[in-house]
């Protein structure tokens, strides 16, 4: 297939881009590089530096003297939860208005498939664990609300235009693969923060609360390896049906506590972490674990990597630094 990857210079988008290329697809990446990295795209994909709002122009130019696109994969979004609460306009503009422009371009150019990077944040504080796709959507922050709005837009588009789409709702993504990994200017994810502490780049690692109603008193979250996640996106291309919007959770179905993650980081790196305990963060649920049964049935997907593999791969990428970027495209 010839595939447009919006946001393909970011963490997850770059891994998916490399997997698509390895499987023989042609890839054009659309990214404004506000948070992504040009070298993460590598040499084999074409990179067009532009805002998602310019999707119509980008697609028109990319198909003027070349075949049209068979699919779009959409990762382009603002994704910092705390920032979304402080600066909601930025998130509604980029995530929703930008996606509307992309959907208009998809319709105008009759692109038949869309795979959307959604999030578990659409569920808010769940009523039941594990969380299924039928759980009430009640986001507690602007980021989750914008992603839910896009999911709803996509459903409407599928009904009206026969677009076939899949929204993949991630839980916590970790690890590195195919020479790509996390390189965020502002890091909010536990595993890379813990690895920074192990590497001596942070004085302390703060655990938010040790009095949660869990076996060891720390929050429990669902983690999935970025390569497992990327495989789900590729499988979704074949599972999509015209006029239908498939929604699937992606997680391992087994939660890990913050303390388990910290202990795993210590074991993998061979280093003790400078820990301190702080108060609970307001709005944090004690447990968030996915049910990925629908993905297993409809996509034929199963996660292959355990927590140790996620930490090990992320640690190797962290130690290698930016030299990893582009390695798989040499």
Strands 255-257 and 220-225: antiparallel
Beta strands in the chain (DSSP E): 2-6, 26-31, 46-49, 71-74, 113-119, 164-170, 172-174, 205-208, 220-225, 245-250, 255-257, 275-278, 287-288
Instruction: Give the integer Cα–Cα distance in Å for 143 and 35.
Output: 16
Contact 95, 34 (CB under 8 A): no
| Structure tokens given for 176 | 């590195």
Closest CA to 121 of 86, 165, 172, 77: 172
Concatenate the DSSP letters of all residues of 82-107 into one string.
HHHHH-HHHHIIIIIIHHHHHHHHHH
Is the four-CA dihedral 160, 161, 166, 168 of positive or negative sign? negative
* The residue to which tokens 């001596």 are assigned: 200
Closest CA to 149 of 172, 118, 173, 120: 118
Concatenate the DSSP letters of all residues of 148-208 into one string.
HHHHHHHHHHHHHH--EEEEEEE-EEE--BTTB----SS---HHHHHHHHHTTS-S-EEEE
DSSP at 53: G
Active site residue 143: yes
The SS3 call for residue 224 is: strand
Instruction: Give the integer Cα–Cα distance in Å for 262 and 5.
Output: 34
Q: Which of 11, 123, 143, 223 is catalytic?
A: 143
Residues acting as catalytic residues: 143
């Amino acid at each position: 297939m010839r595939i447009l990857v919006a946001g393909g210079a970011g963490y997850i988008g770059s891994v998916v881009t490399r997997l698509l290329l390895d499987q023989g697809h042609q890839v054009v990446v659309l990214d404004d590089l506000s948070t992504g990295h040009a070298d993460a795209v590598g040499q084999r994909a074409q990179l067009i530096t532009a805002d998602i709002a310019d999707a119509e122009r980008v697609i028109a130019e990319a198909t003027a003297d070349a075949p049209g696109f068979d699919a779009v994969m959409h990762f382009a979004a603002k994704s910092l939860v705390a920032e979304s609460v402080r600066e909601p306009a930025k998130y509604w503009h980029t995530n929703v208005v930008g996606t509307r422009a992309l959907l208009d371009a998809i319709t105008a150019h009759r692109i038949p498939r869309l795979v959307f990077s959604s999030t578990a944040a659409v569920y808010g504080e769940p009523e039941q664990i594990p969380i299924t796709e039928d759980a009430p959507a009640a986001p507690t922050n602007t980021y989750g609300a914008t992603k839910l709005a896009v999911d709803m837009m996509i459903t409407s588009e599928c009904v009206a235009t026969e677009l076939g789409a899949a929204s993949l709702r991630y839980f916590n993504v970790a690890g590195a693969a195919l020479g790509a990994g996390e390189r965020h200017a502002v890091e909010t994810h536990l595993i890379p923060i813990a690895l920074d502490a192990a590497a001596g780049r942070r004085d302390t690692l703060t655990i938010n609360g040790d009095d949660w109603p869990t076996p060891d008193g720390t929050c429990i979250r669902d983690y999935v390896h970025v390569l497992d996640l990327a495989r789900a996106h590729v499988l979704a291309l074949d599972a999509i049906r015209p006029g239908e919007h498939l929604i699937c959770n992606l997680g391992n179905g087994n939660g890990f506590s913050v303390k388990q993650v910290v202990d795993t980081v210590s074991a993998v790196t061979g280093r003790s972490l400078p820990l301190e305990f702080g108060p609970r963060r307001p709005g944090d649920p004690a447990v968030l674990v996915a049910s990925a049964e629908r993905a297993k049935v409809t996509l034929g997907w199963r996660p292959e990597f355990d927590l140790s593999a996620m930490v090990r791969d992320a640690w190797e990428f962290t130690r290698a630094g930016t030299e990893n970027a582009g390695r798989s495209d040499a």
